[in-house]
Amino acid sequence: MRKNLTWRWVLIGLVTAGAVFVMWPPQEKIHLGLDLKGGIHLVLQVNTDDAVRAEVDAAMERLRQALAEKGFPPESMARTEDQEGFTFKPAVQTDSAVLDKVLEEKLPEFSVSRGVTITCRLQDMVVRELRDMAVRQALETIRNRVDQFGVAEPVIQRQGNGDRIVVQLPGVDDPARVKDLIRATAFLEIKPVVATADSEQELLAPYGGRVPDDAMVLTGDVRDVTDRIVGKRYYLVKKASVVTGRDLRNARRSQDQFGQPAVSFSLTPEGGKKFGAYTGAHIGEQMAIVLDNKVYSAPVIRAQITDAGIIEGSFTIQSAEDLALVLRAGALPASITYLEERTVGPSLGRDSIVRGVRSGLAGLAMVVVFMLAYYRGAGINANVALILNAVLLLGALAAFRATLTLPGIAGIILTVGMAVDANVLIFERIREELGLGKTVRNAVDLGFSRALATIIDSNLTTLIAALFLFQFGTGPIRGFAVTLSFGIIISMFTAVFVSRTLFELVLTRKSGKGPQTLSI
């Protein structure tokens, strides 16, 4: 019997020591959630139409270039009203065999309807994939940006299977800056400049007041010598970009030739190859550095440039740092809309902690007093197991880097009641066996063995519910599910294994001292 007790005490000691080690000091190892630490809660909607529209625009440009290379540039081309396709009118002399081959090679994801004008529409499956990919890419991009910003223990997850993303950033002291970092599309493009002017009318006058099909009009700020914005400059640029943000290898804050903050970027080998080929062939021409459809600068190409460039503008040190961060993390595939925003102040978070801890301690104290008053000596057994349950639960939260939220504290308090419930089932069964005239040892053995099935059944059903809450819930619901799940598993260990070991210790010490009694 002593040998049996020895390994039990060794196991309990190791588990307890391990829990204390991973959770100490608790103020550093237990990560607090948004409602306890303060911060911001955002619900974002990804405008997936932007991703579909971008795919359609890219397909239009591919088709236009391919037909132009064959000598049959289309007469007109425009997107459909639903933005999921486009129509174009081929040149009269277009060879039908050439047209069929180009459509097959360049637009494999499109359904083509022929007539006087040809309509090309993205297939439904492709549209669904594009929308889903836009949300997943936005999720990953936002996570990269937040990680580089340095927010500890952020929660960034998709809400269901739709187009919404939940962002929780505990401990953020500058929510406006983080929101700007998340919101910024920051899509970098370098485009050929066709013409520039001080007004849009002047810019488009040589083209009959219409924007050419293969071009677009963008604007940029005009600044005086004190760097104040004094007007706008209009640029007619090609829709097709020489390189884009996808070709970036790195970006960092630097200085321009006047010592002002700027952003330097370097390109991937493939991007550098494209950039070098273009700049080498267009020396003396302008190119526009475009960020989110705004021209930041339009330098003249003086020599071939292969792998690097600089973005100049009216930057502060912080804004240049933020732009470099966003460029490094990648561009969002679509714009986003803020649907919900909640800010929790640190003082409110501290108040939640104080109230949560007070309620938890009050509940624990009442349970301890009840167990001692009702079960007497056996109540000490239950209370020791209960305190150990709390220690192991905090250790589990620290070991799995789980975030403790206010609903999570509610889950811990609920776990206290569930842990004692298992002891109540065992103690009442022991009382029944003693009432039937069984010896103390037999009563204890039968009490644990016959209550075990009921304990497992009740805890298992609760655990299943908690796992479903964790799988399908978000934010606070998941926090509640985490602590409840850990608490259920740990209470099985403390209420059955630890409590049984304490009983065995008492019975072993009483053996050989005459008839045994049990304070229960």
How many Å apart are CA 364 and CA 370, to the nearest integer?
Answer: 10
Q: Which residues in the chain are classed under CATH 1.20.1640.10?
A: 2-36+345-510
Q: Name the DSSP class of 308.
A: E
Select from 308, 242, 326 the least CA-distant residue to 269.
308
How many Å apart are CA 100 and CA 414, to the nearest integer?
Answer: 68
Please, what is the end-to-end C-alpha distance for the chain in angstroms?
23
How many Å apart are CA 181 and CA 164, to the nearest integer?
Answer: 18
Q: Name the DSSP class of 475.
A: T
Longest Cα–Cα distance in the chain: 114
For the domain covering 184-340, report its CATH number. Answer: 3.30.1360.200
Select from 490, 484, 492 the least CA-distant residue to 463.
484
Encoded tokens for 515: 């008839």
Residue 233 buriedness (CB in 10 A; 0-12 / 13-18 / 19+): middle
What 3 state SS string does 192-226 have?
Answer: EEEEEECCHHHHHHHHCCCCCCCEEEEEEEEECCC
Q: Are 168 and 155 in contact (CB under 8 A)?
A: yes
Q: Classify each residue of 419-458 as buried b or exposed e, where b means 16 or more C-beta atoms within 10 Å of its C-beta.
A: bbebbbbbbebbbebbeeebebbebbbbbbeebbeebeee
Q: Which pairing describes strands 403-404 and 31-32: parallel, antiparallel, or unpaired? A: parallel
Residue 315 CB neighbours (<10 A): 21
Select from 484, 429, 436, 417 the least CA-distant residue to 454.
429
Considering the segment(s) 2-36+345-510 as one domain, its CATH architecture is Up-down Bundle (1.20)
**In terms of DSSP H, where are the helices of 297-399?**
317-329, 346-375, 377-399
Q: Are 387 and 441 in contact (CB under 8 A)?
A: no
User: Which residue in the block uniquely carries the two structure tokens 């003249």?
Assistant: 300
pTM value > 0.85: no
How many Å apart are CA 184 and CA 331, to the nearest integer?
Answer: 8
How many Å apart are CA 165 and CA 15, to the nearest integer?
Answer: 38
Considering the segment(s) 48-127 as one domain, its CATH architecture is 2-Layer Sandwich (3.30)
Select from 429, 409, 408, 410 the least CA-distant residue to 476.
408
How many Å apart are CA 345 and CA 302, to the nearest integer?
Answer: 53
Q: Strand, coil or helix: what is 309?
A: strand
How many Å apart are CA 31 and CA 177, to the nearest integer?
Answer: 23
Distances 383 to 87, 346, 375, 423 between C-alpha atoms, Å: 76, 34, 11, 10
How many Å apart are CA 188 and CA 424, to the nearest integer?
Answer: 66
Distances 27 to 23, 361, 394, 399 between C-alpha atoms, Å: 9, 18, 11, 14
| Confidence (pLDDT) at 515 | 44
Q: Which residues pair with 246 in a beta bridge?
A: none
How many Å apart are CA 426 and CA 423, to the nearest integer?
Answer: 5
Q: Are 327 and 186 in contact (CB under 8 A)?
A: yes
pLDDT by residue for the chain (520 residues), tens digit each?
A: 455 678 888 888 898 898 888 888 877 777 777 667 777 888 889 888 888 888 888 888 889 888 988 888 888 888 888 889 999 999 888 888 888 899 988 898 999 998 888 999 999 999 998 898 888 888 888 887 777 666 666 778 888 778 899 888 877 767 677 777 776 666 678 899 999 999 999 999 999 888 887 889 999 888 776 667 788 999 999 888 888 777 777 778 888 777 888 888 788 888 888 888 888 889 889 988 887 788 887 888 877 877 777 777 667 787 777 777 766 766 677 778 888 887 776 666 677 778 877 887 888 888 888 888 888 888 888 888 888 888 888 888 888 877 777 788 888 888 888 888 888 888 888 888 888 888 888 888 888 888 888 888 888 888 898 888 888 776 667 778 888 888 888 988 888 888 888 888 877 776 555 446 777 7
| Confidence (pLDDT) at 326 | 65
